[in-house]
Amino acid sequence: MTVVSCPTCGKKVEWKPENKFRPFCSERCKQIDLGAWAEEKYTIPGAPPGDADDESISKE
């Protein structure tokens, strides 16, 4: 059996089909994480808009 840590609170969670909130330990932790995404507390790294790649396209 695989055991993971809840991304929100760190509680150990069994990774099994019966756990409908996995990888979270509860609905509460799942909602906290969703709220963090909605408030843009998490970001995906990437180049800022207007990077050098955009300039090469406009010169063609």
pLDDT in tens, 11-57: 999 999 999 999 999 999 999 999 998 988 888 888 877 755 555 55
Output the DSSP codes for 42-58: S----PPTT-HHHHHHH
How distant, in Å, are the alpha carbons of 44, 46, 58, 59 from that of 53?
Answer: 19, 12, 9, 10
On whether 10 is known to bind a ligand per the annotation, the reply is no
Number of residues written out for the chain: 60
CATH of domain 1-43: 3.30.50.10
Distance CA 34, CA 6 (A): 14
On whether 31 is known to bind a ligand per the annotation, the reply is no
Across-strand partners of 13? 4
Higher pLDDT, 53 or 1: 1
On whether 25 is known to bind a ligand per the annotation, the reply is yes
